Structure formats: C-alpha cells, structure tokens
Amino acid sequence: MTSTLRKTALAILLSTTLMPVALQAQTTVPVASTVEAVPASQERPWLYENSEIPVDESWTFGELDNGLRYAVKHNGVPPDQASIRIRVDAGSLHERDDELGYAHLLEHLTFRGSTHVPDGEAKRIWQRFGVFFGSDSNASTTPTQTVYQLDLPNANPGVLGESMQILSGMIRDPRINAQSVGAEKQIVQAELRENDGASLKLSDATRKLFFQGQRLADRAPIGTVASLQNASPDKLQAFHDRWYRPENTVIVMAGDGDPATYEALIKQYFADWKGNGKAVPAPDFGDPTTGGAVADVVVDPTLPATISILTERPWRLKQDTIAYNQGLMTDLIARLIINRRLEAQARAGGSFLQASINSDDISRSANVTSVQVVPLGTDWKKALEDVRSVIADAEASPPSQEDIDREIEFVGTQFRSSLEKYPYESAANQADDIVNAVDIRESVAAPQTALDIFQSMQGKITPAAILASTKAQFDGVNTRILMASPTPIEGGAPALAAALSTPVTADSGARITQGTLGFDALPKLGAPGTVASTTPLPQLDMEQLTLSNGVTVLLRQTPAESDTVRVLVRFGKGYQAFSPDGDAPVWSGPAALIDSGVGDLDREALDKLANGRRIGIAFDIDDDAFELSAETRPQDMAGQLQLLAAKLADPRWAPAPVERAKAAVAVGYPSYETSASSVLQRDLTWLLSGKDRRYLVPDGKTAASLTPEKFKETWAPQLAAGPIEVLLFGDFQRPEAIAALEASFGALKPREAEAPAPDGLVHRFAKAGETVTETHQGPANQAAVAIAWETSGGEAKVTQSRQLDVLAEIFQDRLFERFRAEQAKSYSPFVSSNWPTGFDSGGYLVAASQVEPGNVDLFLKLSREIAADLAANPVPADELQRAVEPIRQLILRASSGNTFWMDQLEGATRDPQKIQRLRSLLSDYTNVTPAEIQALAAQYLKPGQGFVLKVLPAKSGG
C-alpha cells in the first residue's frame, strides 16, 4: 500500500528530521475501528491484485483488451481541471549497456509531438488551452518509469478530446527522425552539462558504492555523453518498440468531469494500440551484493561534509496485507523515536549539525535503511560515533511506553490530517499517488482506511515490538558508508570503513524525558480585548475587524478547505526596517527565531505542546512587514492564535539556536561554488538590488560574527513594535474565532509605531549597462549569464506590474524557442519579472540561463534582439493569447483556495486600496493589448540599459 501511508510516513520523517517550522501535536485518538482484510478469492481491481487493503471506491479501475490499464475518478479540485498521467514501465534500468540515457532521451522526443502533430505545435496548442509549459505539461524519467504529465484547465470536452488525441500520438508514434534526434541530443547534453559538477560527482559515487553489482550502480537516467552521442533514430525506435507497449502502460485521469467520459476517451484513443514485435520481460535489476568496497570518500571543496550509511536488503514484491502495513507503521514509530533523540542532541549543540535515519525501497532494487549525518567542524569521527551510539542504544534496549505513545499521538495526527484534507486534495496529487503506487508495486489506501489500520494497532505497538523493529531495520546483507568532504580526510576510505566497524557504547543519555504540555504552559497574556469596530466586505465574503488595542483583522469564514484554518500575522516593517547598507543580520531571523522558542518553552517543549495537535509557526520577511504563519484546525485554533501572539509578547532568547544557524551557514555556504547556476542563485538578487546588504547571502565568516546578544538586539525590537495585522481564513465558526482573537492578539499591549531605518524605504537597482563577472569552482564547460532591465515598483502601479508578467511570459517563450528549441544551447533559459509592492522602485525583468562559456555572448545577443523586437513591434494576437490564457487559468484555479486570497490581501488593513486593486486582477492580465506590451518593452527594455552578470569557470580546463 502506498499513497496515504507511504506519503504520510515520508512527510512525518521529513518534518521530524529537517528542523521543521511546522509543529504537529496532541489529541485523543478515536476508538479504533476494525479493518477487515478482503478475501483473496474476491475479484479485485488490477491495482489491488496483490493486496488485501480495502479498495478506494472513489477510483474506477479498468483494463483494455490490449493490456493497457487505467484508473479514473471525479475530483473537482481545482474546478474545471483534469489531470492526466501516462506512465510507461521503462526507465534507465531497462536500458542495455549501449543505450544509457535512452529512456530519458526518448521522453524528450515524445514531448516534441508525434508524426501526427507538427514539431513543437503540441506545446502551442496546450498554451492556447491555458497550460503552462514545464509545470502543467511536463515529463520525468526515473530508473524504473517514464511519466508524462498534463494538467488541463478548462477541461471541456473539446479540450479533453484534442489533448488525448495528441497524447495518444506522442506515446504511440513519437517523431523519431534524424532532425528531432539531433536537436534533442544537444538539449539533453546541455541538461547533463548543467547538472554536472560536485553534486553529480557525489550522486554517481553514491550509486556506485551502495549498489555495486546491480544495474542501478551505473544507470543514471541522464545517461552519458558517449552513449547520447551514439544515439540514432533506429536505436531509439528499437528502444521505443521494446518498451512502449500497451501492457507496459497505465493511464490515470482525475478531474472535474465524469469518470465515464474519461474511460471513453482512453478507449477511443488507446484501445486499438498494438505493440511492435514480441513483448520482452523486464531485465533482472539484481540484488544487493555482499563483499566489495565498504567505504568511499568524495572530496570536493564545494561539498559540505556529510556522511551516509546504507544497510541494504533485497527488494521483493510485497503481499500488500493489513499485517504488512501494520509492520510499516511499527517501523515508522521506531525510526521516529531515534530521530527525535538525534534532533534533540543536535539542538543541544552536539557534535553534529543534523542527523536522521530513514527506510525506503530504492528503484525496486533494494530495501534500505539509511543514516545521514552532517558533522559540526572537522571531527567527523566524533559525529559518526555519537550518532551510532544513539542508534546502538535503540538496538540494545526497548524504548519506554511513553516514548511510543508520543510518536503514536504524532503519527495519528498526520493520518487524521490527511483524512481531513482529502476532500480538497488536488486531482493532480491524487493522480500522482496512483502512479507512485504502480511504480513500487503496491496499492492505494483511502485516508479513512489508513487511519483505520493505524487505529487497529492500538495496544500492539509495544516496547518489545519497537526493539525488534529497530534491530530488523539495521540488519541486512551489507552496510556501506560514504563521506563527502571539502578536504581530504586522513586515511581516506579505509579510515572511514574502520570508523564504521569500531564498536560504540550505547548512549542511554540520549533518551528524552517525555511529557505533554497544554496551551496553559504558554506565557500568560493580558486581559482579553474586544472588537472595537467591524466593517463587512461582502464583495469578498469577509469582514475587517479592529480590536480594542489597535490590532486589525481580516476574517474570512469558508468551508473551501474542510477542517482547516490558515493564519497569517503581519507586523513591523519587514525589509524596510533595515538599512540597505547596514550590518544587521537579517538572514538570522528566518534561521533561528522559531527554534528560539517562546517564554520558558524551548523547541523541545514546543514539540510537546504540539504533539497530537495540528499547530504550526513559521517566520518570513516581506518588503513591508514581518510575517508569522501557521495552518491549524478549528479545535486547535484558539491555542494556535495564543502561540503566535505569545511569540510576539514573550519571545525566548537562547544561544543554541543561534549557534546552530551559524554552523549551518558555515557548512552550506561553500556549496554555492558547486556550479555556475548556484553562484547566480546566490548573488543575482543582491547584485540587482545595487548590493543591498539586506539581500546578501552570508558566508561563514559573516555568520561567525553573530553573537546571541547581537541576535536579540536585532530582533527583539522588531517583534515588539509596529502595527499588527491578522488574516484568519478557514473553516471555523465566527463566535469561536472572535473569542480566540480577543483572548490572544486582543490581549496584547498596544504597540508603539515602529520607525524604519532612515534609508530603509530605499530599494535600488544595479548600475544600468554594467557587466559584473564572477567565477565558480565547478566544471570548466559550465557558465551562467543573466541580463536585467530596471522596471519600477509599488502598489499604486500594480496594473503595470501585472502587464510586465505577461511581457515576461512572451519573452520567456521566445527565448525558449530561439535559444533552446532552435539553437539547442541551453536546457533551462528563464525570464521573470520582479515588482516589489512594498517599495516604489527597484523592480526588474531578468533573463538568465546556464550555458557553455562560449555561448554567453550568444545568449546576450539573442536576449537583446528579443527585447528590441518587443519594443519595436506589436506582439501577434496568437502569441499574446498563448501568454495570457495560462495566467488567466492559473488565477481561476488558484482563487478556489484560501492561500490565493491571503497572498492577494495581505496588508489590506493598512492599505485599503489593495481591495480595489484586487478587483482588477483578472482584467489587468486578460485585457492587456499588443500596444501596451510594446509600450512597456519600449519603456523598460532599452538598448544599453541592461545589467549583465556573467559567471564563468575558475578552472581553465578539465
């Protein structure tokens, strides 16, 4: 079983091990319902043939006479959209030795179109339908599958029919000729070049060590330069004929339509498909091997120090029974207990910055338990020993029942949350779940089924069961270790292997004292305030409140997201509070404020407060305000608001989170030198802002200068002053929401106005016409380039901002056509418009790409030519429509959810004109004319005014 169980398990693991800002927490587990296995003799849909999991009846499953399988369902989220997935059981593991990269190259060729559709025309047709290329229409290749994805907005019968006809032609009869193969070979080689460098070096070394003796060891989906260069139409056609067959294909359709219509379309366009030649069985992917190399070290100055340990077991097709899934849940609880102990050690300032364990099936090649460690400083042996000591203790002694109960509460909350969110989970996500289930050869459980299975285990997850699970997860046919290091380690791989084999003493001191906390543990606020005024906003189905202490509120009661309440708290001046030339450690707020805690509660205490509840807290910085945000549910809403208010009223200041944030910067900063694109990512915003220090990514030296005292000196005034605006949107009852607001934010003391830094309102742009050249430490055949033109900023001119978005889309499409499709010089050119609504200046339109060093000037030449043509000539009507329609459809889809409205209305209680400007949102995009686009291009994309950043290789060759 996958989907709900597997997806939730991964989400839980990530939220536990990756220093989350979301806090998940504690409630009473409902009485367990009984889960009955379905008798094997009962006829089952194809996805459930090896499963006794109750069938998710919201899906309709079928199989055509030619062997093609399908799954369809009605899902109206978002309205009018249909999500189509076509999965072919062909990935890089299906390639022969002389076909490396063919599965991925064939994916590229397939997406060009077919012999029935002119080259590149499918993209244009879908753009007219409102599809964003690269997000709504895309494809991916993994070691085990190739998946084609299409999310169709406004999926009326005509749009659906034409799209299915196009997809059928692409899958069955792609254009494989000398011209198309030659073009896509260059593009895939550009993709390979752009992904080359230390990260690829580490990825290759990881596969070769951990999966030695198996096909996975030397079959990355991207392939090799030599193999790609030798690819020919005949060879690719042979690969297509071998694997692109109906019996290897699954089609999934979910959307706001009749499932019977979806079934009819699949039959209409795929029922007569017959494979070419005889079917061949999939190759044996191989089992994990014993012996061989145990350790490897990858040295690169741009790689942070990390240690990976993998224990492998053979992958086998599972009988997807209730008992099997109960075992998965027991294993998950065992890992969560260890991960919580590791995280506590890291937070306390241990020898490692971060450590976690995970378990997964890898490419139907191995079932693995992995350990990831990020050491602090240079003493990697100590970090490895300390992590292994925590694991050794878990393998030696059972946890307490309190340890288990805490994780049961935590996991139960995740399953209940999945059930609550299921009615408004997007069709695209649910279609992806089916695809993932097919890939790992398991079934899909409805959220209620997953919760029922979990509840059926109450009383069965005992200390003895967890101990047995822990031992089993660290038992396998091999255990290997790999270390990435910016500098050579003494003794190399043998020293690493010796460290892994050295016995360690179980660290029972890593165990956590359990306990639960209620919301009464939060700092006490003042007496509840009252609602001083109420202003209905009927046109937006919401109201604006002003509390007696001056806090303003936008309140929107809607069941659009069942059992979910979203909170956004805006306060202070955001980036405007700091000087562009000052030395305030602006970066440290998002890095350490949340982990610093509240009142007397450190992060561990906040985790206890959150266990069994759905509450959260995140911090971000906007142009004109600081932001705290969270997602909760109605029964936790009052406590959630109390937590957020307490963060402002009584923040906790502790050195450990600051020191950990500094260490994370020191470890991670060198990795920006890995490639040209990462240097571009690091410095472009800072350079385009005229070297505004608010946007400077700190290096290790800068971070090291931050003290806990300086951290508090920077952030205490920001949390304490400035007006507060609360946006509360969701599925709640108004009286309860009002009472919760009055008792939390209404109970805060009236806040003093906050004066921004003397020049904090300044937002500059780089020097027009200037060229800045930087270097990177990655491959010598890799460069990056950007050209940007200054625009403007501010809410008052937001119509122009929206029209610039359209201009950027047209620019992007032309650059794609000329630099990628025609010239095949880059895999990923992009264009975007940045318009700061919190500042009246400093906006820009930027075009950028990763390229070969010899093509930097070509990119600039083409970009300038496109800019000049846009300024000199009106855009053709069809081209404008192909840019506007995807934006229009995106707005229509997004507006069905609360996140869209919160994004659009943040700051509206300070600037009521935001509401008026929102009314023109759709028309500003859809009514823009060719003359207006031309005028904008002429106004801003002036010859000689573009700022240029070039990132060139520091190495001259090799």
- Give residue-wise pLDDT tens across range 872-884: 999 999 999 999 9
pLDDT at position 6 over 70: no
Q: How far apart are CA 453 and CA 330, in angstroms?
A: 12
Can you give the pLDDT at residue 299?
97
Q: Which of 870, 837, 698, 846 is nearest to 766 (CA)?
A: 846
- Give residue-wise pLDDT tens across range 34-58: 455 555 445 899 999 989 999 999 9
- Its pTM stands at 0.94
Return left, alpha or beta for 253; rule: phi > 0 is left, psi -120 to 50 is alpha, else beta.
beta
629: helix, strand or coil: strand
Evaluate whether 221 touches 92 at the Cβ level (below 8 Å). yes
Can you give the pLDDT at residue 39?
55
120: helix, strand or coil: coil
pLDDT at position 191 over 60: yes
Residue with tokens 């009514």: 927
Instruction: Output the six-digit token pair for 847.
Output: 């075009």
Q: How far apart are CA 605 and CA 185, in angstroms?
A: 55
How does residue 25 score in pLDDT terms, banded at 50, 70 and 90?
A: very low
Q: How far apart are CA 443 and CA 452, in angstroms?
A: 16
531: helix, strand or coil: strand
461: helix, strand or coil: coil
- Give residue-wise pLDDT tens across range 595-606: 999 999 999 999
Can you give the pLDDT at residue 27?
29
Q: Rounded to a whole number, what is the distance in angstroms from the first to the last CA of the chain?
A: 47
- Give residue-wise pLDDT tens across range 264-294: 999 999 999 999 999 999 999 999 999 999 9
C-alpha 368: how far from chain center: 23
List of residues 6+ apart from 260 with CB closer than 8 A:
none
How many Cβ atoms sit within 10 Å of the Cβ of residue 796? 13
Q: Which of 478, 440, 463 is nearest to 324 (CA)?
A: 440
Q: Which of 664, 670, 778, 673 is nearest to 201 (CA)?
A: 778
Amino acid at 902: M
pLDDT at position 786 over 60: yes
pLDDT at position 794 over 90: yes
Give CA separation, 679 vs 697, 774, 863, in Å. Answer: 11, 8, 21
Can you give the pLDDT at residue 239?
98
Give CA separation, 921 vs 230, 388, 639, 805, in Å. Answer: 51, 56, 35, 12
Mean pLDDT value across residues 533-555 = 96
pLDDT at position 68 over 60: yes
Q: Which of 95, 89, 111, 67 is nearest to 239 (CA)?
A: 95
Q: Where are the alpha helices (DSSP H) in 174-314?
A: 178-194, 198-210, 225-229, 233-243, 259-270
Residue with tokens 């707020």: 589
Helix axes 401-421, 447-455, angle to 10 degrees: 160
Can you give the pLDDT at residue 788?
98
Rounded to 5°, angle at Cα 894 from 893 and 898: 130
Can you give the pLDDT at residue 24?
29
pLDDT at position 32 over 50: no
Can you give the pLDDT at residue 3?
32
Evaluate whether 856 touches 809 at the Cβ level (below 8 Å). no
Instruction: Output the six-digit token pair for 116.
Output: 């029935």
How does residue 501 score in pLDDT terms, banded at 50, 70 and 90?
A: very high
pLDDT at position 738 over 60: yes
Amino acid at 719: L
Can you give the pLDDT at residue 707?
98
User: Average model confidence (pLDDT) for the chain?
Assistant: 93
Can you give the pLDDT at residue 30?
31
pLDDT at position 18 over 80: no
Query: What is the full DSSP assignment across 291-312?
Result: SS--EEEEE-TTSPPEEEEEEE
Q: How far apart are CA 728 and CA 902, in angstroms?
A: 9
Can you give the pLDDT at residue 35?
56
pLDDT at position 625 over 70: yes
**DSSP one-letter code for 91:** -
Q: How far apart are CA 816 and CA 696, in angstroms?
A: 30
Residue with tokens 């050794």: 392
Mean pLDDT value across residues 326-348 = 97
Between 30 and 303, where is the model more confident?
Answer: 303
What percentage of the chain has pLDDT greater than the value 90?
88
How does residue 2 score in pLDDT terms, banded at 50, 70 and 90?
A: very low
Can you give the pLDDT at residue 925?
97
How does residue 120 score in pLDDT terms, banded at 50, 70 and 90?
A: confident
Q: How far apart are CA 783 and CA 858, in angstroms?
A: 12
Sign of the CA dihedral running 148, 154, 160, 163: negative
Can you give the pLDDT at residue 170?
96
Instruction: Output the six-digit token pair for 809.
Output: 């889309």
- Give residue-wise pLDDT tens across range 819-868: 876 766 767 889 999 999 999 999 999 999 999 999 999 999 999 999 99
Can you give the pLDDT at residue 16?
28
Query: What is the full DSSP assignment across 828-891?
Result: --EEEEE--TTSSS--EEEEEEEE-GGGHHHHHHHHHHHHHHHHHSPPPHHHHHHHHHHHHHHH
Tally of CA atoms within 13 A in the half-sphere of 743 that contains its CB: 18
How many Cβ atoms sit within 10 Å of the Cβ of residue 486? 17
Sign of the CA dihedral running 399, 405, 406, 407: positive
